[in-house]
C-alpha cells in the first residue's frame, strides 16, 4: 500500500479527480502491475495497473489507495474491470467520499472478490484532503492572499501599492499561485493595478504551467489589459456574486482558487463564508492612511469578529507570512497542499 501511495502522489493537483495509485501483486508476492491516475480524462490507476499485469492479474491482489469507483463517468467502473480481470482480492485505503462514485466495495463483494478496507487510511486521506473537501463543499476551495502594512493598508493614499512586500515574499506568492488552478481578481483590481496574474519564475520568466486567469465583475476590461499577455487562458465572469462565480468555475473543472482581489471582492467572499484559507503577507511598514485591506464586513462589535485559526507563521525575507483558516465549525485546518514525490 505504501508503494501505491507513492504512485498516487505522482498524480496532479489541482484536478477534478483524486490522486490514486494501484499495485497488483500476484499470489506468489510478485508485483505484476502498477498505475496511477494522471488527471481528469486519463485512465484510472486500476486501469493502468491491470493493463500492465495482463493475464497475471487473475488470482492476484490489487492494492488501491482509494475505494475503486462503481460509476460510469468518462470511463467505466473500475470495479467491473477488477472483476473481469479475475482479481481475487482488493485492499484499499480510503473509502470514497464522493457519493456518486462510492459503493465499490459492496459491488466487488457481490461479485465474489474479497475486500479489505482502511489500510493506511489516514495517509491516503491526507494525500487527497483538499480534493475531499471540495467534494463535501460542492465548490472550489478559495485561498485569499493579501499583502498589508502593519496598520492594515493595502495601498497608500495616492493609490500606489507596488510594492508593499519585498522580493522574497513576492516570489513566495508565485510559488503558491502555481499550486492552484485559477487566480481570481475583480474588475476593480484589473482596472486599477492592471495585473498579469501569471506565475513567474524567480528570474522573471513566465512559468510553463499557468493557472486560469479569472476576472469577475460587470465592468469591461481596458483594451490591451496585461491580463491577456502571456500563455494560458483568461476567463471573464460577468457577475459580482461569489457563489455564482465559484459555480461557474466548478463546472469548468476548477477545484482550487487563489483569490487576489481587492478589499471589496475579498469582503464579498468573506461575508458569504467562501474563504477556506488566508495567506497574509505583512510588511513591517506603516502608512497611516490609504486603502484598507478589506472593506466593511457588517461586523459592529468585537464579539462578532471573524476569527481565524492560526496554521503557520514564517518570516519570508523582510516580511511575515501568516497562514490561517476561518475558525468556523465546518473549517478544516489540515488542508495542506499534497506533497509531490
- Catalytically active residues, by annotation: 46
Distances (CA, A) of 171 to 34, 143, 163, 177: 37, 17, 12, 10
**Contact call for residues 61 and 23 (beta carbons, < 8 A):** no
CA gap 6, 9 in Å, rounded: 5
211: helix, coil or strand? coil
In sequence order, what are the residues at sequence separation of 6 or more whose Cβ sits closer than 8 angstroms to the Cβ of residue 204? none
195: helix, coil or strand? coil
Which of 219, 222, 223 has the alpha carbon at shortest distance from 237? Answer: 219
Cα radius of gyration rounded to whole Å, the chain: 23
Rounded (10°) CA dihedral 141, 142, 143, 146: 180
CA gap 259, 239 in Å, rounded: 15
Q: What is the DSSP string of 127-142?
A: HTHHHHHHHHHTS-EE
Cell numbers describing residue 275: 474563504
CA gap 93, 127 in Å, rounded: 11
In sequence order, what are the residues at sequence separation of 6 or more whose Cβ sits closer than 8 angstroms to the Cβ of residue 336? 126, 129
**What is the separation, in whole angstroms, between the first and last Cα of the chain?**
15
**Contact call for residues 237 and 257 (beta carbons, < 8 A):** no
Place of cell 474491470: 81
Amino acid at each position: 500500500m505504501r508503494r501505491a501511495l507513492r504512485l498516487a502522489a505522482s498524480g496532479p493537483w489541482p484536478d477534478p479527480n483524486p490522486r490514486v495509485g494501484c499495485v497488483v501483486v500476484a499470489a506468489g508476492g510478485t508485483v505484476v502491475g502498477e498505475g496511477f491516475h494522471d488527471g481528469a480524462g486519463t485512465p484510472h490507476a486500476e486501469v493502468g495497473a491491470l493493463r500492465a499485469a495482463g493475464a497475471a492479474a487473475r488470482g492476484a491482489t490489487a492494492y488501491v489507495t482509494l475505494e475503486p469507483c462503481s460509476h460510469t463517468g468518462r470511463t467505466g467502473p473500475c470495479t467491473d474491470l477488477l472483476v473481469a480481470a479475475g482479481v481475487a482480492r482488493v485492499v484499499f485505503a480510503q473509502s470514497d467520499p464522493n457519493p456518486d462514485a462510492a459503493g465499490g466495495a459492496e459491488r466487488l463483494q457481490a461479485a465474489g472478490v474479497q475486500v479489505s478496507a482502511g489500510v493506511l487510511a489516514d495517509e491516503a486521506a491526507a494525500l487527497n484532503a483538499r480534493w475531499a473537501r471540495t467534494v463535501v463543499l460542492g465548490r472550489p476551495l478559495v485561498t485569499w492572499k493579501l499583502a498589508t502594512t502593519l496598520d492594515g493598508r493595502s495601498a497608500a493614499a495616492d493609490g500606489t501599492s507596488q510594492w508593499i512586500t519585498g522580493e522574497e515574499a513576492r516570489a513566495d506568492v508565485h510559488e503558491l499561485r502555481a499550486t492552484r488552478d485559477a487566480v481570481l481578481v475583480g474588475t476593480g483590481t484589473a482596472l486599477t493595478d492592471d495585473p498579469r496574474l501569471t506565475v513567474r519564475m524567480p528570474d522573471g520568466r513566465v512559468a510553463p504551467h499557468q493557472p486560469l486567469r479569472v476576472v469577475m465583475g460587470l465592468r469591461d476590461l481596458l483594451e490591451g489589459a496585461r491580463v491577456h499577455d502571456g500563455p494560458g487562458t483568461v476567463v471573464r465572469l460577468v457577475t459580482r456574486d461569489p457563489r455564482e462565480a465559484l459555480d461557474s468555475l466548478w463546472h469548468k473543472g476548477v477545484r482550487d482558487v487563489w483569490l487576489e482581489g481587492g478589499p471589496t471582492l475579498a469582503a464579498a467572499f468573506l461575508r458569504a463564508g467562501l474563504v477556506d484559507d488566508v495567506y497574509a503577507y505583512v510588511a513591517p511598514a506603516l502608512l497611516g492612511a490609504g486603502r484598507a485591506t478589506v472593506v466593511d464586513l457588517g461586523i459592529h462589535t468585537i464579539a462578532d469578529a471573524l476569527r481565524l485559526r492560526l496554521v503557520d507563521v514564517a518570516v519570508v525575507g523582510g516580511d511575515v507570512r501568516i497562514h490561517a483558516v476561518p475558525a468556523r465549525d465546518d473549517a478544516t485546518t489540515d488542508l495542506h497542499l499534497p506533497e509531490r514525490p
